[in-house]
Amino acid sequence: MTASAYTAVGVVVAGCIVYAWDALGGWQLTRAAVLRARWAWRCRGCPPPRSEVDPLDRDDMRAFIAAVHAWRMPAAPERTRT
């Protein structure tokens, strides 16, 4: 009884590993295909595709960078009340 339970668990785990391997391998192949298509596009002399998002101007970029620096800074230590 115990051997069959371990075998069943092993089969399920092996199935999960095979599924994850296939899913990750498929993602890598898709990413490589996209990179090859972009490279071919640029080699033909076409301009790079533009983003649909409006780029930030200088003031917006400075505000964003200041916010990121503020997030990375540790919080001020709280003073004790004793």
pLDDT at 73 over 70: yes
* pLDDT, tens digit, 9 for 90 and up, residues 22-68: 777 665 666 777 788 888 888 888 777 666 666 778 888 899 888 88
How many CA atoms lie less than 13 Å away from 48 in the CB half-sphere? 5
- List % helix, strand, coil for the chain (3-state, nearest 5): 70, 0, 30
pTM of the model: 0.32
Band (71; pLDDT cuts 50, 70, 90):
confident
Query: Which two three-digit tokens encode residue 69?
Result: 């620096």
Band (13; pLDDT cuts 50, 70, 90):
very high
Query: Which two three-digit tokens encode residue 40?
Result: 């071919």
